[in-house]
Structure 1
Amino acid sequence: MDRIFDNTEKAFALKKDSELERAYFLFKMIANEPLVRIGTAVTNFALKAHLPVEGLIRATVFDHFCGGTTEDDCLQLVDRMYDYGVSAILDYSVEGKEEESQFDAAMQKKISLIEFAKNKDAISFAVLKPTALGRFALWQKVTEQGDLSDKEQQEWQRIENRIDAICQRAAACEVYLLIDGEESWMQDAADELVEKMMRRYNEEKAYIFNTVQCYRWDRMDYVKKLHEKAKTDGFKVGLKIVRGAYMEKEAERAKEKGYQNPICASKQATDENFNKVMAYIMNDLDVFSLFVGSHNEASNYLAMELMRDLGIANNDHRIWFGQLLGMSDHLTFNLAAEGYNSVKLIPFGPVKDVMPYLIRRAQENTSVAGQTTRELDLLKKEKERRGI
């Protein structure tokens, strides 16, 4: 397999010299873990104290990792990426809401983004976080099969109605919908509800995608059981596979509550699980559609090899590759240049409201071994190629 991800000219074709310099500066900062901790604390304090720092945040970390404050803000970036064959997912990345009115507003926002994507060839997907539509504690109670009060049953029905409204609109508009994975102690309820939506709206084609977090050792079993149900009952399955985002939290809770840690024992075991799940899905594209959500070069190379060995065309509509805006451009743009279906997830929203997302991005980059170093090496190589 050719080392396509080393091509920095294609990787950073979208970036002006000034944007390349900014990216290099940001990743140099992110590489310093104590600095990230201090910067996070200072930023949180400044925002809560209403100090005038939004302009600075907007000009640095926000503009690197986010598309803008509104969906219209994002359009210029969306169009520029599409010129290079990269599609977009617009993600309104406002987190932590807990009121019914806010859940209804989140539903309307998701539906409006689906309508927005319907008329834009460059936007192929919408994305949904289950706990944006209902209280986490209720998702957890349903997962734990607790007895719901009449009030809670009505609340749960509203959650299902919100998800159904969004899924119905996605299928009607022929926009793929990625439903995020979350913590294991709420995930069973989400899995069951997403399966219900797949049965309802994935009759001919997979529009509704669940997320499989492959750092959980039980996920292959989940995929196999869902596969059997789909074959028996005649519906399509969309799956986005990722490694996962809640490792420390999962381990701490398992230890505190005294149950087996749901996370694989090692990074290697997670990588192996991810690759096995990916290969299993690719071997039955009559049932499955696959979104490979990975910043790992080895897994992306393996996906390309599997497609080649199985005779799957690079642009087969049932396989997509995706990365986050501001990260791993060497994967996204080089995959697109080779004709693969390639996507960037573009977060957007008010600067203050998107800060929890941005802080998590910075923290994840410091904790993923080699991620920031690889970004810096590629940016440095491209700077040298351009002579800047």
Structure 2
Amino acid sequence: MSAPMFLQSRAAHTIQSHAVTKEPLPTASGLSALPNKMLGRSLLIATISSKSYLLIPCLKLLSFLSKPGGSRLLSVDKNPFIHAILRKTFYDQFCAGETRKDTVSTIKGLKDMGFRGVIMTFAKETVFDHRTKTEHGVGEALLINKEKGPPVESVNTHNADIDTFRKGTLETIDLLEGTDYLAVKLTGAGPTVTAAFADQKPLPKQMTDALDEIATKCQQRDVRILVDAESQRFQWGILDTTLNLMRKFNRSDRALIYNTYQAYLKSTASTIHKHMEAASKENFTLGLKLVRGAYINSDERSLIHDTKEDTDSAYNTIALGALKQEIGKYGGDGLPFPKVNLFLASHNKPSVLAAHALHQSRIQVGLPTVPVGFGQLQGMSDEVSFGLLALKQKNGQTPEVYKCSTWGSMSECLAYLLRRAVENRDAVSRTGDELNALRSEAWRRMKGMFISP
């Protein structure tokens, strides 16, 4: 009998059990919060990710299925066999649901496991591949050649893509509460918007109105917004757009809007410094979400740090600098540190633990710091997520830990699923911690079936 089948029984007993471990992060007691079905699926996906002869065919299949214009026979939405396989494996592992009902159920399940909230996005985006010079719009048959450009239309013409983006995003907000974040992929608004981002030209008024409506609704519901980083072809335009939203909506000490900064880019440190300068001069709060980066397979390689060690160093320097309120000319003996809210999205255990330890130590001795939240993707790095939740603070509260997910149809989520599968492969190949933790928890539960506590 396979391990996942063993994991279908004794759920109540295993979730309440806690194994003794000497690890800094209490792996067994943390992962014991995972229901058996989720643990079994996580173990299956991690095992596939650790075996190249299993993973490579899976990645090729996901890449093939994500291309637009395929036949009905190979449609992930219309072929029930393909849909069922993907739904029970990669989709359920990394995505929240295809319907509102499924998504609400997933959100509730994550909060019941102890997470402060969720980070939810509607799965529609455009990815630019610098090698083929094409834009791939997910969820619709969109393929734009760089030389030909987008469809010709007036910036004042009503745009169906922008309207779909607006409606999908507003519907996502309805799923969220005050403890949650909305993640927004601005390229989901279609080719007219991505062309404006690529050329760093003004957005259509319909798009700016949509963003104002989205931000206003989030403000009313106390839901914060994380604007995602995307392909480099569009990123400078996205950064500028988000900074303008911060100028308008981040007027209190609590940031409503966050920009996402990718530590693997060589330009990120200077970009953050410029945005801090704007926040300082214009008296708004900078929402700083820090990630390592997720577009290494499609972005131009020369823009990215030469080694993983360089990226790790850049990430930690920015994260710890923000927590110490010392970045560039700001803080310490320099200029007053501007108002910053920090969100650390990371699966790297040393980075997360170092940031949390520094934040707590500064609070305990009365040194200045910034508010910080932590996030990991649904279906990944559960050892890190639950380990953070186990780190009780002196006031009895846990760190603010969130799980990031997406919702939408299978076809809309394919690009997201492909990136998650690649990230999971890279994570498992760099370290066996996650797979070993899952195996240990599965073994603990199987032993519990036969050995009384």
Same fold (TM over 0.5): yes
Partner of 1:20: 39
Q: TM-score, normalised by structure 1?
A: 0.85
Query: Which residue of 67, 82, 88 corresponds with 2:118?
Result: 88
Question: Aligned pair 1:57/2:77, yes or no?
Answer: no
Is the counterpart of residue 67 in structure 1 residue 96 in structure 2?
A: yes
Q: Deviations over 1:340-359 (max 9, x none)?
A: 00000122211233222212
Tell me the distance in 2 between the aligned counterparts of 1:248 and 1:188.
19
Amino acid aligned to 1:334? G
Question: Which of 346, 354, 357 is the matching residue for 1:305?
Answer: 357
TM-score, normalised by the number of residues in structure 2: 0.74
Q: 2:208 aligns with which of 160, 165, 185?
A: 160
What does 1:66-145 align with in structure 2 at a 5 Å threshold? Answer: 66-86=95-115, 87-95=117-125, 96=137, 100-117=159-176, 120-121=177-178, 123-135=179-191, 136-142=194-200
2-structure distance, mates of 1:47, 1:310: 55
Q: Aligned partners of 2:236 and 2:385: how far apart in 1?
A: 31
**Distance in 1 of aligned mates of 2:375 and 2:324:** 20
- Residues 1:245 and 2:294 are matched in the alignment: yes
The answer as to whether partners of 1:11 and 1:332 remain within 8 angstroms in 2 is no
1:351 maps to which of 410, 419, 439: 410
**Structural mapping, 1:222-237, within 5 Å:** 222-237=271-286
Instruction: Confirm whether residue 32 of structure 1 aligns to residue 51 of structure 2.
Output: yes
In 1: Cα distance, 2:41 partner to 2:232 partner? 37
Cα deviation, residue 334, structure 1 = 2.3
Q: Which of the residues 173, 182, 185 maps onto 2:233?
A: 185
Return the alpha-carbon distance in structure 2 between the equivalents of residues 206 and 74 of structure 1: 26
Paired with 1:322 and 1:139, the residues of 2 have a C-alpha distance of 27
Aligned with residue 381 of structure 2, among 303, 308, 328:
328
Distance 1:115 1:286, change over 3 A: farther
User: In the TM superposition, what is the alpha-carbon distance from 1:230 to its structure 2 partner?
Assistant: 1.2
Which residue identity is paired with 1:244?
Answer: G
Displacement of 1:73: 0.8
**Unmatched 5+ stretches in structure 2:** 1-21, 66-72, 126-136, 143-150, 152-158, 326-336, 392-397, 448-453
Deviation (angstroms), 1:282: 1.7
Distance 2:314 2:361 in 1: 20
Shift of 1:327: 0.5
State the percentage of identical aligned residues: 26
CA distance in 1, matches of 2:387, 2:269: 29
Structural RMSD (CA):
2.5
Rounded to whole Å, the distance in 1 between the matches of 2:413 and 2:278 is 38
With 171-180 and 288-297 compared, the bigger mean Cα shift is at: 171-180
When structure 1 is superposed on structure 2, of 207-216 and 341-350 the one drifting more is: 341-350
**Unpaired runs of at least 5, structure 1:** 143-147, 253-260
Residue type at the aligned position of 1:19: M
SS at match of 2:421: helix
CA contact (8 A) 2:25 2:383 kept: yes
Query: Residues 53-79 of structure 1, C-alpha deviation per residue, up to 9 Å, x if partnerless?
Result: 211221222112122212321223322
Asked whether the 8 Å contact 2:94–2:417 carries over to 1, the reply is yes
Give per-residue Cα distances to partners, 1:208-265, cap 9 Å, x unaligned.
Answer: 000000001221111122112212211001111000012233335xxxxxxxx22112
**Do 1:64 and 1:325's aligned partners in 2 also have CA atoms closer than 8 Å?**
yes
Instruction: From 302, 306, 309, give the equivalent of 1:265.
Output: 306
In the TM superposition, what is the alpha-carbon distance from 1:25 to its structure 2 partner?
1.7
The answer to whether residue 25 in structure 2 is matched with residue 5 in structure 1 is yes
For 1:325 and 1:29, how far apart are their aligned partners in 2?
17
Matched, 1:342 2:390: no
| 2:11 alignment counterpart | none
CA deviation after TM superposition for structure 1 residue 31, in Å: 1.8
Q: Aligned pairs, how many? A: 363
For residue 211 of structure 2, give the secondary structure of its aligned residue in structure 1: helix
Letter in structure 2 aligned against 1:31: S
Specify the structure having the higher radius of gyration (Cα): 2
Q: CA deviation at 1:365?
A: 1.9
Question: 1:215 is matched with which residue: 240, 264, 272?
Answer: 264
**Residues in 1 aligned to 2:35 and 2:109: alpha-carbon distance in whole angstroms:** 10
Residue of structure 2 equivalent to 1:258: none
Q: Provide the C-alpha distance between the structure 2 equivalents of 1:133 and 1:3, rounded to a whole number of angstroms.
A: 45
**Structure with bigger RCO (C-alpha 8 Å, 6+ apart):** 1
Aligned to 1:257: none
Distance 1:310 1:286, change over 3 A: farther
Contact 1:175 1:207 (C-alpha < 8 Å) held by counterparts: yes
CA distance in 1, matches of 2:428, 2:382: 18
Output the CA distance in 2 between the equivalents of 1:231 and 1:191. 17
